[in-house]
Structure 1
Amino acid sequence: MIALTGHPRWKSAELQAISSRESHAGALSHAYLEHGMACLDYLEGPFSVLIMDKRSSRITAVTDRLGLHPIYYAQVGDGIVFGSSASGVLGHHEIEKELREDGIYDYVYFHMVPSPVSIYRNIKKIPAGHFVQLSNGALNETNYWLPRFSEQTGADIASLSVRLKNLLKSSVDNATDNFATTGSFLSGGLDSSTVTGFLSELHPDAKAFSIGFSAEGYDEMAFARITARHFGVDLNEYYVTPDDVVQALPVIATSYDEPFGNSSALPAYFCAKLARENGISRLLAGDGGDELFAGNERYAKQGVFEAYQKVPLFLRKDLLQPIVENFPGNFGVLNKARSYISQANTPLPDRLQTYNFLHQHSPAEIFSADFLSAVDVNAPLQLQRETYDRPADASTLNRMLYFDWQYTLADNDIRKVSHMCAVAGVEVTYPMLDESLLRFSLEIPSNLKLKGGNLRHFYKAALTNWLPQDTIDKKKQGFGLPFGVWMQTHKPLQELAYESLLELKKTRYFNNGFLDHAIELHRKGHAAYYGELIWILMVLQLWMAKHAN
């Protein structure tokens, strides 16, 4: 028996014909009978699959290469329970709804709970590009797909640029079924502008939807309007207010199967809700371009630290580090030098977590001793190291990209956007994550993706004179929520936050003194940084109030 969900595509014309004549499940059945688990080589796109093979007494569950369709599971005796959500798996009467201490720690560390674990003690989820298989009572997880980065030396930039534009347009076309009821998210950044632009070429009456904030440094509506004018798109706008957050957060926070602390979930929800109210049933999201073509600031930043390792060891160890570490004083330039050397001496991927709350503050400061006694505080870094080291023959940049396919996309942004669209009643597709684009990105040399600190170098060069120049030059921002800034003056937000932290004091998880200290850090320190800390704690409390028992 085979069950298949999603919108897969077939690499074989024969299997595509069977799919059209019968069903996707029918095509996969033919492929499985002929090729066994190698049938996955012929399947691409967003999907999840369950295969029950009575001949070999084997059950296999598969999620797609980028984790667009998640699968949760739990072993029960000699059997296994699968579901597309944790709540679905929890519906089985033998599975207890018990939280993991490590799951709570993971949430505070990552602001979500990453695969392969979950917040629940007896439930796991399948990472992107993996399957789990139950055979003769033994359960095994297998990584069935890894990218093969085949960087082309001496690549012809002009021909690569033409290929990119053609692939982008076909990816938008593939992601759309009814142009009349399809719209796009539009932040005004590279990817949402790209998707919107090609949607407008395919459908002259295209609609786009954008969210703004009345907060300095957060509002990108001006860039969304530039893109909309450039492509002649009907732009629909909504400005999120602090009152919107107070009203919507308790609903949004508790709607997730696991605590989810990415604050941009709220603007994604309001954008999808706006689209639904305007007759849209499917939205095209721009997520993924930065992770395929090197658009995140941390990629460029690592090059600065990697350069330090090229300084001869004796100079670093016997001269530079002793001078900086022992020089008297505590002032700006010296502190930056100390921070630089400390980060440069920290290997990847650990260095990516330099500004994590649980690296800026010790776990013992944040959590109670009783709670920490049940937690492996080294597990998050170990999990990240295993993911980072997985690709073979990959450059530092490409390792970071693959790393982000799991932690930034599958476990975070895709989970955020897909669920918020579902709550709003809108389907979402991801043209930038079309597997034709994914395969193409593997060919682009690292020094073209990121050149001299210039993020998305190749991508920007390829789309110059097609995208607005303001979009090309724009600094990456996204739908970031100005919660920490708003909380400084908005009393209802303060009350919601303070009440939530007060309720957290009733748990055995946190040091109560730190919860008070977090509020002071927000008031007197970096409002945006510590506002995010208060946000994730507030979301955790709201979620636990509904789901913990």
Structure 2
Amino acid sequence: MSGLCGFIGYGASATDNRAVIETMAAPLARFHSAPLQSMQGRKSAVGVVASAATSHVYQRDGLMVALWGLPGKGIGQGADSVAAGIAQAWRRDPDALCASLNGSFSLCIVDDDAGEALLAIDRMGVGNMAYQVSGEALVFGSSADSIVRHPLTPSVLDHQGLYNYVYFHMIPGPGTVFQNQQRLLPGEFLRYRQGRIEKRQYWRMKFDERPERPFGELKQEFMRLLESGVRDAAAGSEVGAFLSGGTDSSTIAGVLTKVGGKPANTYSIGFEAEGYDEMEYARLASRHFGTSHHEYYVTPDDVVDAIPKVAAVFDQPFGNASALPAFYCARMARADGITRMLGGDGGDELFGGNERYSKQHVFEKYEKVPGLLRKALLEPAVFNFPGGEHIKLIRKARSYIEQASVPMPARLETYNLLGRYGPSQVFTDAFLVHADTNGPLENLRRDYGGNEAASLINRMLALDFKITLADNDLPKVIRSCELAGMDVAFPFLSDDMVAFSSQLTAKQKLNGTKLRYFFKEALRDFLPDEIINKQKHGFGLPFGVWLQHHQPLKQLAMDSLSDLKQRGIVRPAFIDQLVGQHLSEHAGYHGTMVWVLMMMEQWFKQHEQA
């Protein structure tokens, strides 16, 4: 992996601090060949391990600046370098600095003489920054693997973090898997001053839900922003694009070919399993735009080989199985000499593309039915209908009412796997003593309530900016690419495109139950109709299917779960029931929990060996 790390408020000399920062930076070089750039002060040090295109450092007069990522235009303008420009802005007005930044980045500024520091990440959370306070010292890093190597902040597992992982299949920020360690949220910064910290949001998504502008005007601006976003993301690198055959990746591939003036290199992953292969749509997009297309079919043997590697590259347990096909896609591109991949992530969240948006739109209609009519007429009629459990229409009506009666955002977790099993059936009593089973939903309510958008669709989009993008999809792609030695950029998440999407009306994102209405209409003369009208799928992994028939994969999973029994986290009886009765009943459904628990145990193993 790559990234930055550092500390302030600890150490006796620059020489001693260099040794500490070298120890902290070692995990950052584990999957990256870039050398360490380090800076030291008397009570501080900063280190960066990253390619020249993604690292920016500055040191002078006790001030150290390190920025990792792809900063936007204008940063460092008029200065010798990006980092020098940030240093100048810090000296002019520290409080106004973050609001002036754009692009994707993780940033640290350390003033050794004044005993002050600033940590920040970009608006959408492409960058990452974890931190821990110990006494009067602040230890930080873009990876928790660096923080736990500092003498003041050794790793102590957090039961709540592990519980949240099993619930969400990742650990939502600001929490982590380690006690007393936190992560910055998208658009957030931290100020450290003489042993004290203060956190604030320097940016928050604000939706402008005014009457819609003319379609032609919006389409013209949208296409201009697409082209400039792809052009900026591709600058200075040998670039390729992920191509799943969906609307987002196909759009990026087409625009990359257009702005590059030559066939874009595109990369797709397939699976030889019924219902999981969408290669035909990727081929369709490639033919349509004339890209130079590359394919690879992931096998069960590939999955067995990659599971330990993928577990190792993440700094905390991560259970999104799509990380594996993303890794193989990036690895294929790296072998061709590509150094940066462009991903289509963010399109769903900016323009309203997830199926749950239309589903919740339908449930919202029930909420608008007068309460007296619901309670006195509709619900008694449906739930007291004689023999209703045997009538499909009545069963569906009951299910609809039951779900619609759950308030948002808890309604989004109606089918949560851990909720279906029951926490007390999954976890040991000793583990649950130190975990709040209501914590995940409380986190969702906090995040959902943090945006004051007037419409349901925009409130859901704001939630997904954090939960789906910053906590899940972006780490999945970024870490998978790092494992392959690849940089990655996300053109849809340019600051200008994000601002543009906030000005679309709710109806332009979700028109009745029609998802991403404006997006699709604007691209009708650009994308093939078959791709615009296709059902959403993506880089899924047929793990549950393969688990039944591929012995090495099954053995790895069973061995992992057997070893997990010894950790006192999950009940051995639940694991036995999961791999016995549950898995045989529905491999696809229950295979997800097998994957989540297997990846947790693999994370333990890989990080104990590191």
Band of TM-score, shorter chain: over 0.9
The one of 448, 454, 462 aligned to 1:388: 448
Give me the whole-angstrom Cα distance separating, in 1, the residues matched to 2:70 and 2:180.
30
The one of 163, 187, 192 aligned to 2:249: 192
Could you say which residue in structure 2 is the equivalent of 1:158? Answer: 216
Q: CA-to-partner distance for each residue in 1:61-114, whole Å, 9 max, x for gaps?
A: 111111111011111210100111001111201212211111110110111111
How many residues are paired up? 543
Could you say which residue in structure 1 is the equivalent of 2:169? Answer: 111
Following TM superposition, by how much is the alpha carbon of 1:151 offset from its aligned partner in structure 2, in angstroms?
A: 2.4
Give me the whole-angstrom Cα distance separating, in 1, the residues matched to 2:352 and 2:287.
27
Q: CA-to-partner distance for each residue in 1:276-296, whole Å, 9 max, x for gaps?
A: 111111111111100100000
Is 1:71 aligned to residue 136 of structure 2? no
Could you say which residue in structure 2 is the equivalent of 1:485? Answer: 545
The one of 531, 535, 541 aligned to 2:595: 535
Task: Answer 1 or 2: higher relative contact order, Cα 8 Å, separation at least 6.
Answer: 1
Give me the whole-angstrom Cα distance separating, in 2, the residues matched to 1:547 and 1:100.
15
1:190 aligned partner, one-letter code = T
Q: CA-to-partner distance for each residue in 1:247-303, whole Å, 9 max, x for gaps?
A: 211221222111110000000000001001111111111111001000000111101
Give me the whole-angstrom Cα distance separating, in 1, the residues matched to 2:305 and 2:206.
46
1:102-141 matched pairs, under 5 angstroms: 102-141=160-199
Give me the whole-angstrom Cα distance separating, in 2, the residues matched to 1:237 and 1:521.
37
The one of 299, 317, 325 aligned to 1:259: 317
1:200/1:10 Cα in 2 relative to 1: closer, same or farther (>3 Å)? Answer: closer
Following TM superposition, by how much is the alpha carbon of 1:195 offset from its aligned partner in structure 2, in angstroms?
A: 0.5
Q: CA-to-partner distance for each residue in 1:336-375, whole Å, 9 max, x for gaps?
A: 3222112111111111111111221211111111111111
Could you say which residue in structure 2 is the equivalent of 1:469? Answer: 529
1:514/1:446 Cα in 2 relative to 1: closer, same or farther (>3 Å)? Answer: same
Q: CA-to-partner distance for each residue in 1:28-54, whole Å, 9 max, x for gaps?
A: 223233333222222111012223356
Is 1:221 aligned to residue 279 of structure 2? yes
Following TM superposition, by how much is the alpha carbon of 1:384 offset from its aligned partner in structure 2, in angstroms?
A: 1.3
Could you say which residue in structure 2 is the equivalent of 1:362? Answer: 422
Following TM superposition, by how much is the alpha carbon of 1:393 offset from its aligned partner in structure 2, in angstroms?
A: 3.7
Could you say which residue in structure 2 is the equivalent of 1:511? Answer: 571
Q: Report if the CA contact (8 A) 2:76-2:86 is conserved.
A: no
1:236-251 matched pairs, under 5 angstroms: 236-251=294-309
Q: Report if the CA contact (8 A) 1:484-1:522 is conserved.
A: no
Give me the whole-angstrom Cα distance separating, in 1, the residues matched to 2:93 and 2:357.
39
Following TM superposition, by how much is the alpha carbon of 1:118 offset from its aligned partner in structure 2, in angstroms?
A: 0.6
1:371/1:405 Cα in 2 relative to 1: closer, same or farther (>3 Å)? Answer: same
SS of match in other structure, 1:108? helix
Give me the whole-angstrom Cα distance separating, in 1, the residues matched to 2:587 and 2:142.
37
Give me the whole-angstrom Cα distance separating, in 2, the residues matched to 1:521 and 1:158.
57
* Larger CA deviation: 512-521 vs 286-295: 512-521
Give me the whole-angstrom Cα distance separating, in 1, the residues matched to 2:197 and 2:382.
52
Structure 2 unaligned residues grouped into runs of 5+: 1-62
1:128-527 matched pairs, under 5 angstroms: 128-178=186-236, 181-203=238-260, 204-327=262-385, 329=387, 330-331=389-390, 332-527=392-587
SS of match in other structure, 1:7? strand
Following TM superposition, by how much is the alpha carbon of 1:422 offset from its aligned partner in structure 2, in angstroms?
A: 0.8
* Larger CA deviation: 190-199 vs 480-489: 480-489
SS of match in other structure, 2:488? strand
Percent of pairs identical after alignment?
Answer: 44
2:253 aligned partner, one-letter code = T
Give me the whole-angstrom Cα distance separating, in 2, the residues matched to 1:336 and 1:369.
36
SS of match in other structure, 2:179? coil
Following TM superposition, by how much is the alpha carbon of 1:16 offset from its aligned partner in structure 2, in angstroms?
A: 5.0
Is 1:9 aligned to residue 67 of structure 2? no
1:409/1:393 Cα in 2 relative to 1: closer, same or farther (>3 Å)? Answer: closer
SS of match in other structure, 1:175? helix
TM-score (norm 1): 0.95
Give me the whole-angstrom Cα distance separating, in 2, the residues matched to 1:320 and 1:357.
30
Is 1:101 aligned to residue 159 of structure 2? yes
2:248 aligned partner, one-letter code = D
Give me the whole-angstrom Cα distance separating, in 2, the residues matched to 1:548 and 1:106.
21
TM-score (norm 2): 0.86
Q: Report if the CA contact (8 A) 1:46-1:69 is conserved.
A: yes
* Larger CA deviation: 267-276 vs 320-329: 320-329
Give me the whole-angstrom Cα distance separating, in 1, the residues matched to 2:454 and 2:608.
41
Following TM superposition, by how much is the alpha carbon of 1:505 offset from its aligned partner in structure 2, in angstroms?
A: 1.5
SS of match in other structure, 1:96? coil
2:414 aligned partner, one-letter code = T
Give me the whole-angstrom Cα distance separating, in 1, the residues matched to 2:73 and 2:331.
33
Give me the whole-angstrom Cα distance separating, in 1, the residues matched to 2:508 and 2:580.
45
1:537 aligned partner, one-letter code = L
1:30-45 matched pairs, under 5 angstroms: 30-45=88-103
Q: Report if the CA contact (8 A) 1:59-1:135 is conserved.
A: yes
Give me the whole-angstrom Cα distance separating, in 1, the residues matched to 2:93 and 2:454.
29
Give me the whole-angstrom Cα distance separating, in 1, the residues matched to 2:90 and 2:408.
39
Structure 1 unaligned residues grouped into runs of 5+: none
* Larger CA deviation: 108-117 vs 132-141: 132-141
Q: Report if the CA contact (8 A) 2:99-2:202 is conserved.
A: no
Q: Report if the CA contact (8 A) 2:311-2:606 is conserved.
A: no
Q: Cα RMSD (Å) of the superposition? A: 1.7
Give me the whole-angstrom Cα distance separating, in 2, the residues matched to 1:59 and 1:178.
31
Give me the whole-angstrom Cα distance separating, in 1, the residues matched to 2:249 and 2:326.
13
2:122 aligned partner, one-letter code = D
Q: Report if the CA contact (8 A) 1:130-1:141 is conserved.
A: yes
